[in-house]
């Protein structure tokens, strides 16, 4: 996928919406289109630099642990052995 393909994707999704008889499916296509258009640059960058290691899951784990320890519930962040 390349940057110039964005317009092609828009047209493809628009045609899919026109060809879909069920409103529920049309809504799903709208959501998909919005997601792709809002994240297009990130998707392209991810593909261009896919050969690089761009991090891991450490941030999510740290955030989860801090959240548990900073909660107002007593003992919520304490691990029982």
33 lies in some domain: yes
Indicate the angle between helix axes 23-38 and 40-48, nearest 10 degrees.
60
Sign, CA dihedral 18-23-25-27, equals positive
Which domain, by its residues, includes 36? 3-69
What is the pTM (predicted TM-score) of this model? 0.58
Structure confidence at residue 38 (pLDDT)? 94
75 lies in some domain: no
47 lies in some domain: yes
Give the model confidence (pLDDT) of 31-76 as tens digits: 999 999 999 998 888 888 877 765 666 666 677 777 777 776 665 5
Is the pLDDT score of 81 beyond 60?
no
Is the pLDDT score of 26 beyond 90?
yes
**Count of domains observed in the chain:** 1
81 lies in some domain: no
**37 touches 29 (CB < 8 A):** no
24 lies in some domain: yes
């Amino acid at each position: 996928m390349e940057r110039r393909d964005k317009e092609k994707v828009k047209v493809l999704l628009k045609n899919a919406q026109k060809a879909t008889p069920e409103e529920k499916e049309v809504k799903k296509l709208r959501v998909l289109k919005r997601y792709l258009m809002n994240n297009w640059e990130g998707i392209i960058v991810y593909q261009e630099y896919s050969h690089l290691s761009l991090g891991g899951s450490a941030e999510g784990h740290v955030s989860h642990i801090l959240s548990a320890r900073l909660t107002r519930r007593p003992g919520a962040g304490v691990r029982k052995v």
